[in-house]
Amino acid sequence: MVLVTTGDPSESGQLAQRQIEGVYTLDEAVNTLCQNVEVLDRAQKLADLKALVENGEVQVNRPGTLDLTPIPLKVRAFYEVAHWNDLNNNWLPKYQFIDWRFPDPLERLKPDWSYWDCDHLSLENAISLCVNITPDWINNKVIGIKNNLKISFEYSPKLTNALNWAQSPDCLWRYDNPSEFKSTNQVKLSEFARWVVKEKPDWVIPSEFRALAKLGDTNQFGNPIKLASAEWKKRAQAYAEPLLNQNPQLTINQVSALIHARFIEEKITTSWGKCTELKVGTIKDSLSKGMWFSSFVANLRK
Q: Which of 20, 36, 53, 237 is nearest to 146 (CA)?
A: 20
What are the phi and psi torsion angles at 92 (to 5°)? -65, -30
* Better pLDDT: 227 or 277: 227
Q: What is the pTM of this model?
A: 0.55
Q: For the chain, where are the E strands, in sequence order?
A: 23-25, 81-83, 120-122, 186-188, 225-227, 268-270
| pLDDT above 50: residue 163 | yes
Q: What's the pLDDT band for 218 if we cut at 50, 70, 90?
A: very low
Q: What's the pLDDT band for 197 if we cut at 50, 70, 90?
A: confident
Q: Which range, of 24-33, 45-54, 116-125, averages the lowest pLDDT?
A: 116-125
Collapsing DSSP to helix, strand or coil, 8 comes out as coil
Q: Which of 207, 227, 217 is nearest to 268 (CA)?
A: 227
Q: Provide the pairing of β-strand 120-122 with 186-188.
A: antiparallel
Contacting residues for 147 by C-beta, under 8 A, at least 6 apart: 21, 22, 105, 106
Q: Are 277 and 269 in contact (CB under 8 A)?
A: yes
| pLDDT above 60: residue 12 | no
Report pLDDT for 9. Answer: 40
CA dihedral 76, 79, 85, 89 (to 10 degrees): 0
Helix then strand then coil, in percent of the chain rounded to 5, is 55, 5, 40
* Chain segment 261-270, per-residue pLDDT in tens: 788 777 888 8
Q: Are 277 and 213 in contact (CB under 8 A)?
A: no
Q: Provide the pairing of β-strand 81-83 with 23-25.
A: antiparallel
CA dihedral 262, 241, 285, 235 (to 10 degrees): 60
Task: Name the average pLDDT for the chain.
Answer: 80
Q: What's the pLDDT band for 5 if we cut at 50, 70, 90?
A: very low
CB atoms within 10 A of CB 297: 17
* Phi-psi category of residue 39: left, alpha or beta, with phi > 0 → left and psi -120 to 50 → alpha: left
* Chain segment 125-135, per-residue pLDDT in tens: 999 898 888 88
CA distances to 5, 33, 160, 223, 244 from 42, rounded to whole Å, are 15, 9, 48, 62, 35
Measure CA of the first residue to CA of the last residue in the chain; give whole Å. 19
**C-alpha 7: how far from chain center:** 31
* Better pLDDT: 229 or 67: 229
CB atoms within 10 A of CB 212: 30
What are the phi and psi torsion angles at 225 (to 5°)? -95, 110
* Better pLDDT: 278 or 71: 278
User: Any idea where the domains of the chain sit in the sequence?
Assistant: 9-103, 107-215, 225-300
Rounded Cα gap, residues 127 and 131, in angstroms: 6
* Chain segment 280-297, per-residue pLDDT in tens: 888 988 998 888 998 888
The most confident of the ranges 132-146, 148-162, 198-212, 282-296 is 282-296
Rounded Cα gap, residues 94 and 51, in angstroms: 12
Report pLDDT for 36. Answer: 87
Report pLDDT for 119. Answer: 82
| pLDDT above 70: residue 182 | yes
Determine the residue type at 193: A
What is the mean predicted confidence (pLDDT) over 216-238?
75
